[in-house]
Amino acid sequence: MTSTQKAVKGNNQDASFGARLIRDLRRHWGIYLLLVPALVYYIVFCYFPMSGAIIAFKDFVPTKGIWGSEWAGFTHFRDFFGSYYFFRLLKNTLTISLASLVFAFPMPIIFALLLNEIHNNKFKRVVQTVTYMPHFLSLVVACSLVRMFTADTGVVVQIMSLFGFEPVSLLSQGRFFVPIYVISDIWQNVGWGSIIYLSAISGIDPALYEAAIIDGAGRWKQTLHVTLPGISTTIIIMFIMRAGSIMNVGFEKIILLYNEGIYNTADVISTFVYRRGLQQFQWSYGSAVGLFNSVVNFIIVVVVNQISRKVSETSLW
């Protein structure tokens, strides 16, 4: 290293963070400008509304406003933890989330690995297009299709009736709700979710495959010892992010699919918050339940991230 390079390096180390940031802003101002809309979005719609979570500790009255409403402390939390619904909602939420994690999460990975083995580019593009399409369907349309297929006269029930199943609507039976939710989630998102894994696979050095072939490895062993290790970091990051939302089961889809007859297996925390907070106007109670849900999600993502960092040295932070 020359004396000039050492001097530049020393100056960079001595410069304060603020000075280095200003210098970088001047040099790459166009890139930072692209970041502004995303920052504004998250500040306005994600971080700023968090101040409203204080109504979970108040008896919120719209005419009095957030700060004018009377303080209630942990009353709403105690009411929720001591209610009949608490364990039912927790069980249903974890059941649906864990079922999705076990069965739906690996499907895009498996699908990406299968697509990677297709060498006919035309056929591969057709398969990708067909599997991507359900993701772009409106959730209302997708749930309407699910309701139509699982009705007593639907194609799914008619096929099942050939094997002795009584032709009744599957969504009227609580035991079928979780399988329907998970299978429909796989159908709608498996193609779209595979994009990130296909991108990760494309970044693997081809020399690794050539070395594996020289060592006599077939396609299965190449997948097992080259492809999967090559995308393991992506899989771990996606798993951590998925685990961090384990308590957030999409209430829109459940509301569009469930009915009062299957609340025992289909009602989750997010749908309960919707009913109590918006339909029954118990804003403080609904906010308390939602805040509890968010805190649990935060704890889970921190724990899973720490475990991942110790086991695999891969983490979000």
Predicted structure pTM score = 0.81
Question: Between these two residues, 312 and 299, which has the higher pLDDT value?
Answer: 299
The answer to whether residues 157 and 150 touch, using CB atoms and an 8 Å cutoff, is yes
DSSP structure class, residue 73: T
**What does the pLDDT read at residue 7?**
45
CA torsion 232-187-140-151 (nearest 10°) is -150
What average pLDDT does this structure show over 248-252?
79
Q: Which residues does 159 contact at the CB level (< 8 Å), separation at least 6?
A: none
The answer to whether residues 80 and 292 touch, using CB atoms and an 8 Å cutoff, is yes
Gap between the Cα atoms of 158 and 167, Å rounded: 7
What average pLDDT does this structure show over 28-35?
87
What average pLDDT does this structure show over 293-298?
87
What DSSP string describes 96-165?
HHHHIIIIISHHHHHHHHHHHT---HHHHHHHHHHHHGGGGS-HHHHHHHHHHHHSTTSHHHHHHHTTT-
DSSP alpha helices (H): ranges in the chain?
3-14, 17-27, 29-42, 65-68, 75-81, 85-99, 106-116, 121-132, 139-150, 155-161, 177-202, 206-214, 219-222, 228-243, 251-257, 263-266, 269-274, 283-312
For 43-98, write each residue's pLDDT tens digit: 998 888 888 888 889 888 888 888 888 888 889 899 888 888 899 999 999 999 99
How does residue 201 score in pLDDT terms, banded at 50, 70 and 90? very high
**What does the pLDDT read at residue 152?**
86
Gap between the Cα atoms of 94 and 90, Å rounded: 6
- Average pLDDT, whole number, for the chain? 86
**How much of the chain, in percent, has pLDDT values that exceed 70?**
95
**What does the pLDDT read at residue 215?**
87
DSSP structure class, residue 49: G
**What does the pLDDT read at residue 183?**
93
pLDDT at 14 over 60: no
Buried-state track 123-154, b at ≥16 Cβ within 10 A, e below 16? eeeebbeebeebeeeeeeebbebbbebbbeeb
**What does the pLDDT read at residue 32?**
86
DSSP structure class, residue 204: S
For 105-117, write each residue's pLDDT tens digit: 999 999 999 998 8
For 212-223, write each residue's pLDDT tens digit: 888 888 888 998
pLDDT at 11 over 80: no
How does residue 15 score in pLDDT terms, banded at 50, 70 and 90? low
Gap between the Cα atoms of 279 and 299, Å rounded: 29
pLDDT at 1 over 60: no
Provide the residue type at 46 as one letter.
C
Both tokens of 15, joined, read: 């410069």
